[in-house]
Amino acid sequence: MNRKALTWFRRGVLTALLTIFGFGCGPSLLWFLNRGDEYKDPATGCKFEPKDGKKTVTVAVLVTASNQITTNPNMAGVDRDLEAKIGAKIAELSKIPKDSAITVVDSAKIDRLRQENPNLWNTGSMTEIAKALGADYVLDVTLASMSFFDQQTGKEICRGNASLSVAVYDSVGSGKPLTQYGHQSNAPLRDTSSLPVNLYRNTYLDRLSTEIALKHVKHKGEIERELTKQ
């Protein structure tokens, strides 16, 4: 199944979301990782690990937004921002055990493939796209819906929420996902008087990117043990 068909297929099944989160905004990474919440459990994800004798792993992160988001002027560029943040967070978290760092494909390289090879981008399999990007894995995220405001209070209260579907592919497989899952993100209420909306957007995208990244790096217990040594 090609990328375009996969995107539309997953948009149709996003109602089967598996996980609900409710943690606080803007924590430090150390505090974030040392909480005992369910959101740190990567059981529904696929950890990026070296294979075939390699010592390194290269991952490409792709984020596609639904029409509901791309046509909303308040959401301009949110897919690209999230794509960059997930990649950065995967790279950051993977360095905690210093010998297992993951290389993330540069966004400029992904942009070139989008622009210079639209046929491959729109109709090629994820395995073909992974090979073209020089990636061992592709983390393919479809962002179905997102809001930064609480629906009951309008724009007076921020409450980030998002619905996504996620699939992982490798460069040597059959083109079928190694894993796929739905992800529902819900943040607590935050008064806009204490945090401007433009800053809240960045804070929430940081939070969402961490939720996704934690599903694909080393297990929380290993991360926490490493943190206690620092």
Q: Residue holding tokens 């460069």?
A: 171
pLDDT of residue 129: 94
| 74 or 7, greater pLDDT | 74
Q: Are 62 and 141 in contact (CB under 8 A)?
A: yes
pLDDT value of residue 142: 95
Global pTM value = 0.74
Coil, strand, or helix at residue 96?
A: coil
Please provide residue 4's backbone torsions phi and psi, each rounded to the nearest 5 degrees: -65, -45
The confidence score (pLDDT) of residue 158 equals 76
- With a cut of 60, say whether residue 228 has pLDDT above it: no
Averaged confidence pLDDT in the chain: 76
CATH classification at residue 105: 3.40.50.10610
Cα 11 from chain centroid (whole Å): 16
The parent domain of residue 65 ranges over 3-228
Position 79 scores a pLDDT of 93
The helix (H) or strand (E) run that includes residue 221 is helix 220-228
Asked if residue 136 lies in contact with residue 58, where contact means CB atoms within 8 angstroms, the answer is yes
Return d(Cα 209, Cα 163) in angstroms, integer.
Answer: 13
Q: Is the pLDDT of residue 215 over 60?
A: yes
Q: What is the pLDDT of residues 108-141, one digit of tens each?
A: 999 999 999 999 999 999 999 999 999 999 999 9
pLDDT by residue (tens digit) across 81-96? 999 999 999 998 887 6
Q: What is the pLDDT of residue 198?
A: 76
Number of folded domains in the chain? Answer: 1
Q: Which of 161, 126, 158, 162 is nearest to 143 (CA)?
A: 162
Q: What per-residue confidence (pLDDT) applies to 220?
A: 54
Partner residues linked to 52 by β-bridges: none
How high is the pLDDT of residue 72? Answer: 86
The residue behind tokens 């297990």 is: 219
Ranking 6-15, 59-68, 113-122, 148-157 by mean pLDDT, the lowest is: 6-15
Strand pairing report for 137-149 and 157-170: antiparallel
Q: What is the pLDDT of residue 5?
A: 54
Q: Which of 58-62, 99-103, 122-126, 176-180 has the lowest mean pLDDT?
A: 99-103
Cα distances (angstroms) measured from residue 10 to each of 24, 27, 64, 195, 203: 29, 31, 11, 34, 27
**Residues 153-211: tens digit of each pLDDT:** 666 677 788 999 999 999 987 788 999 999 999 887 777 667 777 788 888 899 999 99
Place of tokens 């926490």: 224
E strands along 54-205, which residues? Answer: 57-65, 102-104, 137-149, 157-170, 179-186, 190-191
Q: How confident is the model at residue 128, as a pLDDT?
A: 93
Joined tokens for residue 44: 């529904």
Please tell me the distance from the alpha carbon of residue 90 to that of residue 176, in angstroms, as a whole number. Answer: 22
* The predicted structure's pLDDT at residue 223: 52
Look at residue 41 in the predicted model and tell me its pLDDT: 45
Give the HSE-up count for residue 31: Cα atoms under 13 Å, Cβ half-sphere.
Answer: 7
20-53 pLDDT tens trace:
333 333 333 333 334 334 344 444 568 888 877 7
